[in-house]
Amino acid sequence: MRLKDKVALVTGGGSGIGHATAVLFAAQGAKVVVSDLNEANALETVAEIKAAEGDATALTGDVSINVDAEAMVKGTVETYGGLDAVVNCAGVIADKALPKGASPEAVWDRVMEVNLKGTYLVTWHAVRTMEESGGGSIINIASINGLVGYPIGLGGGFDAYVPSKGGVVQFTKNLAIDYGKKNIRVNCICPGHIDTNLIREFLDNPERREWLEQRYPMGRVGRPEEIAYAALFLASDESSFVTGAPLIVDGGYTAQ
């Protein structure tokens, strides 16, 4: 049990990487608050954890809204008496951020709001709690696109996803420097393409999937569990001297 007696908040816990992380954390002994914009999906993750005799609670909210972000953190502390780890996993890509027909500017704003501002808001409230309790671990799910460009999304080079994830990487480093002496570790994970609903349409197209997989030295995209295990390391005391790090989990993509 690598997270015995720890309390974790996982945003975006209703699907994909967040779902896999919440399930793994609970299996490793953590009490987990599964937060998501999609209530039904958050409840499903919680039901799965409880079926495996884990401890979890669902909380619905939008990470880009300050009162929701505050409620996620306060709700976690009220439910489980503390907060040891936060996984900022909620995120969107430009194609899915808003209904079709939205202006490029509105899409830019929404992607930035969820991916970058959402990470900032949840972390803002979490850090205040962790300062009082003597420390904690913040894990931001960035992307390889926070490190290298990828101008093939909606709008090509004008796609907001890449800049939003670059912002998450830099936000991570800034916070790590500022909060190191307070025992709050702040790291991010930079996943390569992972088989989740986020890129389902892309992966369900055999030609596009093959095109993508050929770009990976390992010849495949990743699985949500492969990111969850990286988050587990960063949430556990095994990573006690790791802070400010972008942990790349990408099947070798950025090694090229």
Ligand X SMILES: NC(=O)c1ccc[n+]([C@@H]2O[C@H](COP(=O)([O-])OP(=O)(O)OC[C@H]3O[C@@H](n4cnc5c(N)ncnc54)[C@H](O)[C@@H]3O)[C@@H](O)[C@H]2O)c1
Angle subtended at Cα 133 by Cα 19 and Cα 174, rounded to the nearest 5 degrees: 70
Give the Cα separation of 144 and 177 in Å (integer): 22
C-alpha distances (whole Å) from 217 to each of 5, 183, 206, 221, 249 are 38, 37, 19, 10, 12
Nearest distance in Å: CB 181, ligand X = 28
Nearest distance in Å: CB 161, ligand X = 7
Nearest distance in Å: CB 31, ligand X = 20
Unique residue bearing structure tokens 């995120």: 91
Nearest distance in Å: CB 241, ligand X = 25
The three-class DSSP label of residue 207 is helix
> Is the four-CA dihedral 79, 186, 68, 34 of positive or negative sign?
negative
Please report the DSSP string for 142-164 in residue order: --GGGTS--TTSTTGGG-SHHHH
Please pick, among 120, 161, 179, 253, the residue that the annotation labels catalytic.
Answer: 161
The verdict on whether 161 is a catalytic residue reads yes
**R_g of the chain, CA atoms, integer Å:** 17
Look at residues 140, 155, 239, 116 and name the one whose alpha carbon lies nearest to residue 191: 140
Residue closer to ligand X by CB (options 125, 193) is 193
Residue closer to ligand X by CB (options 131, 225) is 225
Residue closer to ligand X by CB (options 1, 152) is 152
Q: Which residues of this protein are in contact with ligand X, per CB under 6 A?
A: 11-12, 14-18, 36-38, 41, 62-64, 89-92, 114, 118, 141, 143, 191, 193-194, 196-199
Residue closer to ligand X by CB (options 90, 230) is 90
Pairing status of strand 85-88 against strand 55-60: unpaired
Please report the DSSP string for 72-87 in residue order: HHHHHHHHHS---EEE
Nearest distance in Å: CB 13, ligand X = 7
Give the Cα separation of 229 and 232 in Å (integer): 5
Residue closer to ligand X by CB (options 158, 183) is 158
Catalytic residues: 161
